[in-house]
Structure 1
Amino acid sequence: MNKFVENYLSTNRNTFEQVSSFIYHHPETRFEEYESASYFAKACEEQGFLVERNVAGIETAFIATYGEGKPVIGYLGEFDALSGLSQKPNETSYQPLEKDIGHGCGHNLLGTGAFAAACAAKKYLEENNLPGTVKFFGCPGEEGGSGKTFMVREGVFDGLDAALTWHPSPANAIMSLSSLANYQVSFKFKGISSHAANTPHLGRSALDAVELMNVGVNYLREHIVPEARIHYAVTNTGGISPNVVQANAEVLYLVRAPKVAQVDSIFQRVKKIAEGAALMTETEVTIDFDKACSNYIPNRSLEKILYKKFTEVGVQKPTDEENAFAKKIWNTFTDGEKENFLDPMKGFGYVGDGSEFAGKYYSDSISPYYESKEILAGSTDVSDVSWVVPTAQLSASTSVLGTALHTWQMTTQGLRNYALNGMFRAAETMALAGIQLFDNPEDLQNIKEEFEAFKKANPYSNPIPEGVTPSKLHEK
């Protein structure tokens, strides 16, 4: 089995590298990944998958299916990029491009790695004439869009027996932490414009309401659970003329906490603050729910299989040329980033004090597997999949130690040979884990029993209300 997958990925390496390169060079933001989704779907068809497009009412979401019957193993792929993170690849200084969108979270690698794993698992079923179904899910809008949560709400993942995915990072580890649930909500204030000098008493400032709301929320921070986070961005200041009382202003809030119920409780208080700000300024406020996601639920039985396969695949050793490049990237970090280089890795499941990395620029070991009770100070829409399907994730090293996600340094490394090697190690690991479930029904039974026990004690409710639809970035 191991040799089969290794040989398959090696033989088809050029095909998958071309996929990653296309996605990298065609960066698109959430729910507008038209070129990427079309390219991916066509690539799936060329590999013998049957593709269903426009799933869950999302133009750029698709499902690629091969085989029939049980078990049904799914691989989750992402391909959206980030605004403001363009970068000329393979450079060691910040060189943004005219179209300022880039893969600062490595989703060109993430999507392609999951696709390669699905193809390898498909080929194994095909060659061995085995029953079972492989599904590759094209999942748009992870960055600020919660695409998978919308897909879960529409039943897209129903019938899956297990789901596997991964994420690029500086770490080699099983992503065993839970995560923060969140709500993203827009608050739009409407007032009355007026001349700010001649008739200010006739105006009612929507911008004042936004500012008062933000001040009120800042006072709230002391009175919420310490793991919670509240972020905001003023998305409409009402114009650029100070001599006009601003009649319209808007602020976008992102509220996070370890559980959806905690997020909702905080959100209800934030709403009251917004209503109070409107009352104080005699303005009106409209509240638009944008998106949400739950906290991640690790499946320990599936994680252990994934970890075993990861250790069998092993790590990569950087070349002298790669180390020379890495040193230059390392030198772009601030003193604080260098001192805290482990921080980007801990959320991906790394366990240790970093001593094994002394004198190195890349991770060349796999972190011990640990059933962590800690919480990643971040959110992912994979979480909602994990509430309806047993799910496990890994991270494979694709970038220099200390590289934070959502940075130009992450973008510039997205086509490096080191990053591609990490992508193929992740693909090999996920393919082997999926094949193990096809070959060993007892392992899948253990996974499902753990999942069912959790589900029985923790009923799931999708955090995105009916009627709320996915929003493109330019619409906000």
Structure 2
Amino acid sequence: MRSIYQFVDDAIEAKRGEFTAIADDIWDHPETRFEERWSAERLACALEAEGFSVERNAGNIETAFVASFGSGKPVIALLGEYDALAGLSQCSGEASPEPLVEDANGHGCGHNLLGTAAFAGAVAVKNWLEQYGSGGTVRFYGCPGEEGGSGKTFMVREGLFDDVDAAVTWHPEAYAGMFSTSSLANIQVAYRFHGIAAHAANSPHLGRSALDAVTLMTTGSNFLNEHIIEKARVHYAITNAGGISPNVVQAQAEVLYLIRAPEMAQAQHIFERINKIAEGAALMTETTVNVRFDKACSNYLPNRQLESVMYEALQALGVPQWSEEELAFAKKIRATLTENDLQNSLNNIANTSNEEGKAFARRHRETLLIDEIAPYAPNDKILPGSTDVGDVSWKVPVAQCFSPCFTVGTPLHTWQLVSQGRTSIAHKGMLHAGKVMAATALQLFISPQTLEACQSELHAQLAERPYQCPIPAGVTPSPLK
């Protein structure tokens, strides 16, 4: 029998054109959270064509689905995403900001690649199970709404991962390496103030301004920032300023808060304090306030046993090699980036490892497209961002890697990333990630002892800190407003 690394390489390369076409199709149809109908159906139909059975509307979430092949244990999941970001429309392969459609959506985090790589990996695992397997199930989880929606957290709450034994995923980056840190838990909540409209000049004393309440609330929360733990973050956006007429006392206004902290208990404590600020703002303005819990996600719980298996696959499979044409385009993109962009990218690389990781980052300061694997070292650092993979990691062992899909220095959620997301650079990184995920999953089918060690590590962590889903019952996924 061929090695699993050669097997997954052959299986994915044999369908390279099909996989890249799907990624490009999803790039062409950018849809924001919980409205990814076209993208979800594109992947679901492709999985059915490969022999998977597909459960649509999984967990009563319209754009979530679960595709399965095989039977029995173990059940190994590959996680896919396909949501885009608002306002990031951009022409592909251009080194200047040129929207395809003004103010339209764009794949500024590479989720057109993320979901397709997981699909490719699932196909490779399915092919292996058909030829060599003696039981077990591979699943592709179509996970909507990662960007600001915590789709996976809703899926966890609805029990969709209850019988899963382990899961693997990835994220596009500028390098190949491991996602080996924790992340920030978060809570997203909207505060809608209700006042009384009035003529702002003739009879302002009759009005009660909801916009004043929002202003006072944001002022109060900005003062609160000085009195919360250092790694916590409180962000907000005024989503309804009450209208465009300054001569009207605004009767309605809304502000959306995103509260982050290293642990969910810390985020919940800050949330309670933000609630008191909202109540105070309503008292000061004689308005009322309604609180709408939008979503939440837990901090990511690394699984060192499973990370080691994935890192071994990374090393065995190597990294993509770049053509002169790809390097030339990367140079044009680099010319649009600032020194701060570059340093931030290098810091992100360094923070996933130890001193060896810092040296790796320094060595690649002038590199356009990285062609070696970043060192792996478990650490206690915290990624200054959030991911709904966190809630899956509290249910089952999870490992995730990075794969090189864009120029070093490219910030996430920018036109530069959208531009690169439909190029051969992105395609190479995507297929590389699919191979790594497939090989990692196959090791768990082949070695029950390895899977047991991964699960034992998680059980030991949960014995100290039991999991509770941070999204209350009754809260439902909501599209971007």
Report the TM range for the smaller structure's normalisation: over 0.9
- The equivalent residue for 1:67 is 70
User: Aligned-pair RMSD on alpha carbons?
Assistant: 1.2
- The equivalent residue for 1:415 is 422
1:138 aligns with 2:145: no
1:325 aligns with 2:329: yes
- The equivalent residue for 2:378 is 371
Deviation per CA, 1:186-222: give whole Å up to 9, x if none: 0000111111111111111110000000110011011
Taking the TM superposition and a 5 Å limit, the aligned residue runs for 1:42-81 are: 42-81=45-84
Q: 1:146: how far off? A: 0.3
SS at match of 1:41: helix
- The equivalent residue for 1:35 is 38
Whether contact under 8 Å (1:259, 1:295) holds in the other structure is yes
- The equivalent residue for 1:433 is 440
- The equivalent residue for 1:361 is 368
Q: TM-score, normalised by structure 1?
A: 0.98
2:85 to 82, 90, 105: 82
1:399 aligns with 2:379: no
- The equivalent residue for 1:296 is 300
Taking the TM superposition and a 5 Å limit, the aligned residue runs for 1:264-279 are: 264-279=268-283
Deviation per CA, 1:339-359: give whole Å up to 9, x if none: 443134356669224232143
- The equivalent residue for 2:119 is 115
Change (3 A) 1:52 1:68: same
SS at match of 1:473: coil
Q: Distance in 2 between matches of 1:358 and 1:381?
A: 31
Deviation per CA, 1:255-275: give whole Å up to 9, x if none: 000011000100100000010
Whether contact under 8 Å (2:353, 2:378) holds in the other structure is no
SS at match of 2:128: helix
Q: 1:372: how far off? A: 1.5
- The equivalent residue for 1:15 is 18
- The equivalent residue for 2:456 is 449
Percent of aligned pairs with the same residue? Answer: 54
Q: 1:334: how far off? A: 2.0
Whether contact under 8 Å (1:238, 1:249) holds in the other structure is yes
Structure 2 residue runs of 5 or longer lacking an equivalent are none
Q: Paired residues, what number?
A: 474
Change (3 A) 1:385 1:341: closer
Change (3 A) 1:270 1:358: closer
Whether contact under 8 Å (2:346, 2:362) holds in the other structure is no
Q: Which moved more, 1:335-344 or 1:16-25?
A: 335-344
Q: Distance in 2 between matches of 1:464 and 1:201?
A: 41
Structure 1 residue runs of 5 or longer lacking an equivalent are none
Whether contact under 8 Å (1:196, 1:243) holds in the other structure is yes
Q: Distance in 1 between matches of 2:369 and 2:468?
A: 41
- The equivalent residue for 2:289 is 285
Change (3 A) 1:349 1:167: farther
Q: 1:396: how far off? A: 0.4
- The equivalent residue for 1:352 is 358
SS at match of 1:77: strand
Amino acid at match of 1:125: L
Q: 1:59: how far off? A: 0.6
Deviation per CA, 1:383-427: give whole Å up to 9, x if none: 000000110100001000001110011100011111111111111
Deviation per CA, 1:216-260: give whole Å up to 9, x if none: 001101110000000000011111111111111110000000011
Q: Distance in 2 between matches of 1:170 and 1:38?
A: 29
Amino acid at match of 2:393: S
Q: Which moved more, 1:445-454 or 1:283-292?
A: 445-454
Q: TM-score, normalised by structure 2?
A: 0.97
SS at match of 1:298: coil
Taking the TM superposition and a 5 Å limit, the aligned residue runs for 1:162-181 are: 162-181=166-185
Whether contact under 8 Å (1:167, 1:394) holds in the other structure is yes
- The equivalent residue for 1:103 is 107
Q: Distance in 1 between matches of 2:347 and 2:287?
A: 43
